[in-house]
Structure 1
Amino acid sequence: MSDFLKHECGIAMIRLLKPISYYQEKYNTSLYGFNQLFLLMEKQHNRGQDGAGIGCVKLDVAPGQQYMARDRTIKQNSLARIFKGQLKAYQKMVDKGVIHPEFPQTVKDNFDYGGEILLGHLRYGTSGVYSSNSCHPYVRQSNWPTKNLMLAGNFTITNEKDLNADLINRGQHPIFGTDTQAVLEEIGFHLDEAHDAIYHKMRDQNVEGTQIPSIISEQLDPIRILRNAASNWDGGYAIAGLIGNGDSFVMRDPQGIRPCFYFQNDEVIAFASERVALMTIFDQPIENVCEVEPGCAIVVKNDGKIYSERFTEPRPITPCSFERIYFSRGNDADIYSERKALGGALLEQVVKAIDNNFADSVFSFVPNTAEVAYYGLLDAVRLHRRKEVRDALLAAQSSGTLDAALIDELIMGNWPRGEKIAHKDIKLRTFISQEEGRAKLVSHVYDITYGIVKEQDCLVCIDDSIVRGTTLKESILKILSRTNPRKIVVASTAPQIRYPDCYGIDMSELGKFIAFKATVELLKDEGCSYLLQEVYVDCLAQADKPSREMVNHVKRIYDRYSDEQISAKIAELVYPKNVPWQGELEIVFLPVDKMREALPNNNGDWYFTGDYPTPGGTATVNKAFINYFENKSGRAY
């Protein structure tokens, strides 16, 4: 993705199912859980670089002793910083003779993260709030273990304001900060209710006070709590939670928008946002790592009992397609195959763009995340060319014109060429998020292979998605133009991004999308800008309606034009200025139907089609257009 987006946080949770002494004996360390958490987070570092946080709950801790811990930071290299800091604190305790590594109980008693349940979070912020307080895990504290709650998630709840209004109507005083806080308080409210109901029942039965905590812990039902809490949630989410008594849970939204996987054996149950992280860290084949079912929660009680139940009614499953196109790590076997399929699906459009002239075409990719799709396109064009050669050879044989010269011409000529054109010289510092600063940075990060592309060549570059087009215009195309080809074709393995997202990806400002800008320009060219006013009026008219009654009027803006017309206008808008190159530029986008064929199990395509899986999505696009028309910036949810 040439455009920089913040997106898709990562979660990791590990629940040890054996005593700490077991891991000391088998793995020669009492920090097995802590070490595995670090590795599980490190393998998902692509999912968040704004900050990181970890948490821990210890089982069977005596009254008066600390049993929950949390550490968070937004400083540079946050993940390494947290774990190095904790290991430094651990070593100090070893040096003082307080911790004896060979005796697991001393580790558990004296190291904050020497417990049985560990939680980790990698943050890519979409709220615009950047402080350590905005990092997960979030904590709700009480002197009752069964009222303590720690949460971390990869999610966005679109109706945060409604949730806070419900809290106020109950008489509470929520802090308006993020949807995470709203979710924490909502689950916390129902946790309190469940706790108090059991407590009052035990008290009325004259149960001895010292016995009540264990009874509450035994009878507490996290599924029922989550069912009550999540009944009105609108959004995409994968949320992990720890309760102070040692119960833990992981829940996934009913549409399956956000990904979540788990692995379980007799030693551990572990959860992560990405399947391949679990496969790598626990050295497991793909069939041993399972998906958390949409609309279900997996609960681990403090006694180690594990069960899964639905917390909401089944709904149509619409997993985020962007996870497969770009966000998730590409070394997952299925994702790798799907990205190759996305590249191959561009064959027809690319062949048309180069007039089937492979002899004078060079295929490449930029940025590096598009490399797998590039291999898929190369496979497709080579197969296409082999079929052409086969047909020509058969025709020549039939006509009696087959000779060595013709064979050389057919086999050696007009053959697809793949080259590494753009090189990433230094690691891109993705914490630079301002468009101007990033564009300038990218222009120095990439270097060009000179002398490969000739003036008569068409340079075809694969990109995995084009969102705003800013970096493409200001940096990437200027870099590619240095090779001085007659034509540049940028082929996106994602369709045109036309609508905002509200389920975890930071792209909610409609006016920044290059596809939207191009369509507005087409309206202006035709003298039809009045349509923008009409859509604005219609959006305003439904602004106060419940989101389930809203209609996506923004679709009408795009309905006037074909994909090809919008793509042509995009090429005009991103054509690089102030460069010597004067060649032709063509931008092609993968059609939605072909994307669906390549991603048969991830059909969440609302950013391309405007067909949102929840009412909150329609409310978001409605608000986003109002903000655009009124020249307001900021999130639309």
Structure 2
Amino acid sequence: MSDFLKHECGVAVVRLRKPLQYYYDKYGTALWGFNKLMLLMEKQHNRGHDGVGMGCVKLGMPLGEPYIFRRRDAAKDSLAGMFRREMKKFNKMERNEVLTREDPASIKNKFDFGGEVLMGHLRYGTSGEFSEGSCHPYLRRSNWPTRTLLVLGNFNMTNAGELNRKLIERGQHPIFGTDTQTVLEEVGFHLDEAHTDIYRRLRDEEEVDGQTRQDQISSELDIGKIVAESAENWDGGYTIAGVVGNGDMFVTRDPRGIRPCFMYMDDEVIAFASERVPLMTVFETEQDDINEVPPGEVITVSSKGEVHRSSFHKGEKPSPCSFERIYFSRGNDPGIYKERKAMGAALVPQIVESIGDNFEKAVFSFIPNTAETAYYGLMDGLRLYRRDQVKKRIAEAAKQGIVTEELLDELIMSNWPRGEKIAHKDIKMRTFISQEKGRAQLVSHVYDITYGLVGPDDALVVLDDSIVRGTTLKKSILKILARTKPRKIVICSTAPQIRYPDCYGIDMSEMGKFIAFRAAESLRKKRGEAALLEEVYQQCKVEMAKPADERINAVQGVYEGLTPEEISAEVALLVTPEDIDWHGEIEVIYQGIANLHASIDEESGDWYFTGNYPTQGGVAVANTAYMHYYEGKDGRSYDLPL
């Protein structure tokens, strides 16, 4: 994805099912769980660079001993730094004879992360401050373990403002600015309610000592019910994990499965992650051993290790984020690898038409590296297309009895698709530029090219994951590709035109930043239809005055009557740099929505392409985003403020 796009966070959960002594005896280390958490997070490092955090709860700690721990870090290279610091502490305690590697009991008592319940988070921020304080997990402390709560997740709540208002109506005092705090307080409220009910009943029924009462409360808490009650008014995409101070933990996923979550379980461990392959790699297991957490389900593991599953929301159409398949998830997942290749192959008819079916005068490449898998699929598709051509020509010639060696040479040896590595990303330059804000003139040097591969009569076809803002295309990529002096540059996107904001995890909520929207706006103005833009604005205001369940997405009116081809052609004009010494043609090709769905094996959400949001919160964000754009307001269009 040439346009940098912040997206979903990553979660990692490791719940040991045996005492630490077991792992020392079998694996030679009582830090087996800690090491697995570190690996799970490292294997999902693609999912978050703004900051990291981890938490731990130790089971069965004596009264007066600490039992819950948390670390967060928003510094550069925070993931490696956080684990490195913890291991330095561990080694120092060993040198000072505070603990010993051979004694798991001493590790559990003295090392903060020598516990049985471990959780980690990688953050890509879409709201709040980008600081250590905004990193997950969030912690709600109490002197009752059964009221202490640690929460982290991969989510955005589209109605966080409404949820905050509900907290205030109860008499609470929520901290604004992030929906993570809202989620923490909502779960914490229901946890407090359940805790108080049990406590009062036990107090009135019989007189028992404090520890016995605490144990009874712990055994009676229904964490699945608490989470289900908390989620009743949540509107958004989410995977949320949490653990109570007594060791009861939960993982839940939104009813439409927008955010991903996978689970692995054997007799030693229960683990969760945002992607399948990290679990396969870290626990050295097969694809069939990893299960997807069903949408709308809460999975709980009690402090005693008992696993329970319950559905809190049924009957919703699955709408997993299709950008997971297009770009976000690591491409070594077998299903995602196959689907990305299919996306590349699906572009073949459009590309063949663009180059006039002349492979001799075309060079195929990709940018950035994340588009490589789709590129393989494109090249396979082009070769199959050419092979079918050759077969038909040979069959026709055979019928006419004119199959000659010259004909076979012509068909077999010529006009085959030619792939080359044209663009190379300079990682150090990208880092330097990101540290030198305002140095826009350096952006065009983020990539470099391989010279001498493209001729003046060639069409240069370059595959990208998606074209969101078009900024990098205009400021960098097209300038670089133009140095090859082809007759034509064709930029192909494996994703369809992104026309609408996302509000379920991706940081895409400002209408004016979508190049497809700006192209539609430009077409309206060129055609003397600027009044339509005002009409859509007024309709958005009307919709937002309605009850939430009656609203429609008025922004779809901007695109009515405009074909995808017309918008693509206007995008090409908008991304063409003005200051290049090259006058060839630039064409932009987008994936068709039908082809995208055909390439993906499962149901997938397409609201950013079609405007068909799976929840009413999405409709509200779309209308609000357009209103903000029309009014000249910048910033996130989610319902966070009161």
Q: Deviations over 1:269-307 (max 9, x none)?
A: 000000000000001110000001000011000000011
1:246 is aligned to 247
Deviates most, 411-420 or 422-431: 422-431
* Structure 1 residues 232 and 47: CA distance shift in structure 2, 3 A: same
Q: Does 1:22 align with 2:22?
A: yes
Are the aligned partners of 1:17 and 1:267 in contact in 2 as well (CA < 8 Å)?
yes
Alignment RMSD: 1.4
Are the aligned partners of 2:128 and 2:178 in contact in 1 as well (CA < 8 Å)?
no
Task: Kindly state the Cα deviation for residue 439 of structure 1 after the two structures are TM-superposed.
Answer: 6.0
Q: Distance in 1 between matches of 2:264 and 2:438?
A: 41
Task: Kindly state the Cα deviation for residue 432 of structure 1 after the two structures are TM-superposed.
Answer: 6.6
Are the aligned partners of 1:157 and 1:503 in contact in 2 as well (CA < 8 Å)?
yes
Are the aligned partners of 1:58 and 1:117 in contact in 2 as well (CA < 8 Å)?
yes
Are the aligned partners of 1:515 and 1:570 in contact in 2 as well (CA < 8 Å)?
yes
Task: Kindly state the Cα deviation for residue 313 of structure 1 after the two structures are TM-superposed.
Answer: 3.0
Are the aligned partners of 1:4 and 1:433 in contact in 2 as well (CA < 8 Å)?
no
Q: Distance in 2 between matches of 1:128 and 1:183?
A: 14
Q: Deviations over 1:132-151 (max 9, x none)?
A: 11000000110000000000
Give the 5 Å matches for 1:414-433.
414-426=415-427, 429=430
SS of alignment partner, residue 542 of structure 1: helix
1:138 is aligned to 138
Task: Kindly state the Cα deviation for residue 314 of structure 1 after the two structures are TM-superposed.
Answer: 2.9
Q: Does 1:391 align with 2:401?
A: no
Q: Deviations over 1:97-119 (max 9, x none)?
A: 01111000000000000000000
Deviates most, 279-288 or 205-214: 205-214
Q: Does 1:405 align with 2:406?
A: yes
**AA in 2 matched with 1:20:** L
**AA in 2 matched with 1:137:** P
Q: Distance in 1 between matches of 2:433 and 2:220?
A: 49
Q: Distance in 1 between matches of 2:543 and 2:407?
A: 68
Q: Distance in 2 between matches of 1:208 and 1:432?
A: 65
Identity percentage of aligned residues = 58
Give the 5 Å matches for 1:449-528.
449-528=450-529
Task: Kindly state the Cα deviation for residue 547 of structure 1 after the two structures are TM-superposed.
Answer: 2.3
2:327 is aligned to 326
Q: TM-score, normalised by structure 1?
A: 0.98
Task: Kindly state the Cα deviation for residue 580 of structure 1 after the two structures are TM-superposed.
Answer: 1.0
Deviates most, 600-609 or 51-60: 600-609
**AA in 1 matched with 2:396:** A
Query: Unaligned stretches of 5+ in structure 1?
Result: none
SS of alignment partner, residue 574 of structure 2: helix
Q: Distance in 1 between matches of 2:510 and 2:184?
A: 27
1:204 is aligned to 204
* Structure 1 residues 497 and 238: CA distance shift in structure 2, 3 A: same
Q: Distance in 1 between matches of 2:378 and 2:593?
A: 17
Q: Deviations over 1:563-599 (max 9, x none)?
A: 0000000000001221111111100000100100001
Q: Distance in 2 between matches of 1:438 and 1:366?
A: 22
SS of alignment partner, residue 480 of structure 1: helix
**AA in 1 matched with 2:184:** L
Are the aligned partners of 1:422 and 1:448 in contact in 2 as well (CA < 8 Å)?
yes
1:541 is aligned to 542
Q: Distance in 2 between matches of 1:544 and 1:435?
A: 44
Task: Kindly state the Cα deviation for residue 442 of structure 1 after the two structures are TM-superposed.
Answer: 4.8
* Structure 1 residues 250 and 438: CA distance shift in structure 2, 3 A: farther
Task: Kindly state the Cα deviation for residue 433 of structure 1 after the two structures are TM-superposed.
Answer: 6.4
**AA in 2 matched with 1:8:** E
SS of alignment partner, residue 114 of structure 2: coil
**AA in 2 matched with 1:283:** E
SS of alignment partner, residue 559 of structure 1: coil
Q: Distance in 2 between matches of 1:335 and 1:218?
A: 41
Task: Kindly state the Cα deviation for residue 430 of structure 1 after the two structures are TM-superposed.
Answer: 6.7
* Structure 1 residues 547 and 40: CA distance shift in structure 2, 3 A: same
SS of alignment partner, residue 554 of structure 2: coil
Task: Kindly state the Cα deviation for residue 538 of structure 1 after the two structures are TM-superposed.
Answer: 1.0
SS of alignment partner, residue 61 of structure 2: coil
**AA in 2 matched with 1:501:** D
Task: Kindly state the Cα deviation for residue 69 of structure 1 after the two structures are TM-superposed.
Answer: 0.4
Q: Distance in 2 between matches of 1:478 and 1:43?
A: 34
**AA in 2 matched with 1:310:** S
**AA in 1 matched with 2:272:** F
Task: Kindly state the Cα deviation for residue 401 of structure 1 after the two structures are TM-superposed.
Answer: 2.3
2:302 is aligned to 301
Figure out how many residues of one structure are paired with residues of the other and give that number: 637
Deviates most, 309-318 or 156-165: 309-318
Q: Deviations over 1:161-210 (max 9, x none)?
A: 11111111111111112000000000000000011110000000123132
1:562 is aligned to 563
Give the 5 Å matches for 1:31-180.
31-180=31-180
Q: Distance in 2 between matches of 1:291 and 1:437?
A: 43
Are the aligned partners of 1:439 and 1:471 in contact in 2 as well (CA < 8 Å)?
no
**AA in 2 matched with 1:85:** R
Q: TM-score, normalised by structure 2?
A: 0.98
1:192 is aligned to 192
**AA in 2 matched with 1:139:** L
Deviates most, 120-129 or 424-433: 424-433
Deviates most, 197-206 or 391-400: 391-400
Q: Deviations over 1:293-345 (max 9, x none)?
A: 00001100000001111122331110000000000000000000000000000
